[in-house]
Amino acid sequence: MEHKNKGALAGIRVIDIGTMVAGPVAATLLADYGAEVIKIEQPGRGDALRHIGPSLEGESLWWNVEGRNKKSVTLDLHHPEGQRVLKELLKSADVLVENFRPGILDKWNLSWKYLQKVNPRLVMLSVSGYGQTGPYSSRAGYDRIALAMGGTLNATGYADRAPVKLGTAMADYSTAVLGALGTMVALHHRDANGGTGQQIDLSLYETVFRFTDVMVTAYEKLGITRERTGNIHFAAAPGDHFETCDGRYIVLTVSNDRMFGRLCEAIPVLAGDERFSTHAKRITGIEAVNKIVADWIKSLPVLEVCKIFEEKGLAYSLIYSIEDIVADPHYQARGSIATVEHPQIGALKMSAVQPQFSGTPSPQIRPAPALGAHTDEVLRGIAGLSVGQIAELRKAGTV
């Protein structure tokens, strides 16, 4: 079944031969807006994401979130016939997404130097741990590895203990976002600027490094080395995760003198204290100002703290659990959580398509496909294979 609303990217065909998160989710982001995404999976087993994480009735829930809006075709790219069929599919494709370790596709005659001859208009998004070049390019790379090399882990956690990982795969997901952005830039260059197809070289560690704000500049110019400071950040004074008397945690961030003035209205003991008269002074005396705020918050229940902060227009939030998220009226009002009807396991809630556009309605989310559900349809309709040819490929284990 096709989308009733085709979406802004209708007409763009993407072949996704990646596995797990960083590459395939870039394709999912494109699929969310209507691109036709054909996922190539290993016969018999499929994407590794189908077998990881919590499952229901044999269905990986993680796969069902990130495999949405795609078609599934089984094709063994280790086989020469599988490689030949992929090249047939790529003749009419706009984008190929892959995240194999550099050098693997070259062994299969599927690297950029071969595929640009198959389709000069092809945009090839190549995602890897360390990039296509450089002394580390052949290393395996995963989310936490990239967080380590990109500089984020060393700055996350407390100074007196080991670095702490983030709670979700943010290196993978941020790489997927840059991958989708890079793909759209390359398509615009091709279609609007009279360019040709090209390969996009995107690494996990460089994505993480790109989002380390002023870290390298401050080190190079001022010799400042970013250290682990727990929940303290130089742009927030006061700023921390403060506990209320009933055991909830509230994030409060005060980043300028105007906002601090509002906080002083809520906590009058802060007003007039020369130690806290500017942000520069407050960050120098961060422990003192945070303690005053912490003691005040600790004396009150969470609802009262939230009411006061809301009245004063301060930047704050409860630290939400997933239970808080699914019950929150703001999430509900904005439709931040979508419901997708899966044919086997019923209604599944998941993150909705983001961002939202005023003139481009987001298409309805289709459930993630069963393994190989579209193999015959795609191989006949796009690769031009006959029923007999597909049967021979299936007999040989190629599909």
- Residues that are catalytic: 172
DSSP 124-144: EEEEESS-SSSTTTTS---HH
- Angle value at C-alpha 123, between 122 and 125, nearest 5 degrees: 140
Phi, psi of 22, rounded to the nearest 5 degrees: -55, -50
Q: How far apart are the first and last CA of the chain?
A: 23
Paired sense of beta strands 36-41 and 55-56, if any: unpaired
**CB 183 within 8 Å of CB 146:** no
Count CA atoms closer than 13 A to 203's CA, side-chain side. 23
Sequence-distant (6+) residues with CB within 8 A of 106 are: 113
**CB 319 within 8 Å of CB 250:** yes
By the 10 Å C-beta count (0-12 exposed, 13-18 middle, 19+ buried), 86 is classed as buried
How far apart CA 184 and CA 240 sit, in angstroms, is: 38
State both tokens at 173.
């997901």
In the DSSP assignment, the letter for residue 221 is: H
How far apart CA 384 and CA 374 sit, in angstroms, is: 14
How far apart CA 166 and CA 1 sit, in angstroms, is: 38
**One-letter identity of residue 70:** K
Paired sense of beta strands 95-98 and 13-16, if any: parallel
Q: What is the CA radius of gyration of the chain?
A: 25
Phi, psi of 308, rounded to the nearest 5 degrees: -65, -45
DSSP 248-274: -EEEEE--SHHHHHHHHHHSGGGTT-G
